Amino acid sequence: MPLKQSKYPFLRYDSFVDCLRLKVAFPQKFNEWNYLGKIDSYDVDLIIGTVKESPAESAERLAQFGL
């Protein structure tokens, strides 16, 4: 799902959210946390809906993430 830099100025360029598979990220993977901004609820809902429709995710896996 595309995210436009014009809508989200914290992005350096137009970006894409890969909604095919859920990914687990652990805080230890990141050296430093910096708050850059947030994605609005409309786009979050679109991302969640797209993930739920992914043929690569099972109902069981979605349930693990509360989806």
Full-model pTM:
0.82
Domain ranges of the chain: 2-64
- Tell me what the mean pLDDT of segment 34-42 comes to: 91
> Given this model, what pLDDT does residue 25 score?
82
Whether 62 shows a pLDDT value over 90: the answer reads yes
Rounded Cα–Cα distance for residues 5 and 7 (Å): 5
Rounded Cα–Cα distance for residues 43 and 51 (Å): 12
**The residue count for the chain:** 67
